[in-house]
Amino acid sequence: MKSTTMNTPNKLTIARMILTPIFLFVFTFEAIPQHELWGTILFVIGSFTDFLDGKIARKQNIVTTFGKLTDPIADKMLTTAALLIFLREGLCSVWIPMIVLTREFAVASVRMVSSAQGLVIPANVWGKLKTISQMIFTIFIMVLMILESNSLLPASFPLATLSNILLWITAVLTIISGVIYVVNAAKVIDFTK
């Protein structure tokens, strides 16, 4: 009889999904002492689960269709929550989340079509590079926010400018990875169905 028990990588993916709204709440709820610090710690934990679930899945050869489809969604939930924080704080152009979300909706649509045809199209290296850079840049920006809120940065420090530059880099990687994903999918999807 086939086991229906969820494996460890998939549990980590689900944990990242559950952690995301908690991270968003903690980071933005100013009544919590050092809320930005605690929020950043939660984001780091969430980012680490992304690294860990993929590593375990590959090492133990337990890569599943569920994992391939839900892992990117969990990543997007976490990184989009951070973009919403940056947007709220004036550290992110409105076009960055627009680009990121448009790409995610397009890729998710392609994934659904390919899944309906029994195909699983994994993320490409550009998508992984985009996710890694976004998580690293996000943590860096959050650390700067903590320093700024504790008056440990010079008053003239260009946090908004630096933040936007870093996030535009991820937006460009987002576009590249999305285009490559859709082009690769178009080669195998049957559009007559």
CATH number at residue 154: 1.20.120.1760
Any domain includes 47: yes
**DSSP at 7:** P
- State pLDDT tens for residues 25-77: 999 999 999 999 999 999 999 999 988 988 898 888 888 778 877 888 898 89
**Residue 96: which domain range?**
8-188
Q: Is the pTM of this model over 0.85?
A: yes
- DSSP assignments along 65-98, one per residue: HHHHHHHHHHHHHHHHHHHHHHHHTT-S-THHHH
Any domain includes 3: no
- State pLDDT tens for residues 121-149: 777 788 888 888 999 999 999 999 999 99
* Closest-CA residue to 37 (of 138, 162, 142): 142
| Polymer length in residues for the chain | 193
Name the residue type at position 170.
T
Looking at the 3D structure of the chain, how many domains does it have?
Answer: 1
Tokens of 15: 């944990």
Any domain includes 16: yes
Any domain includes 193: no
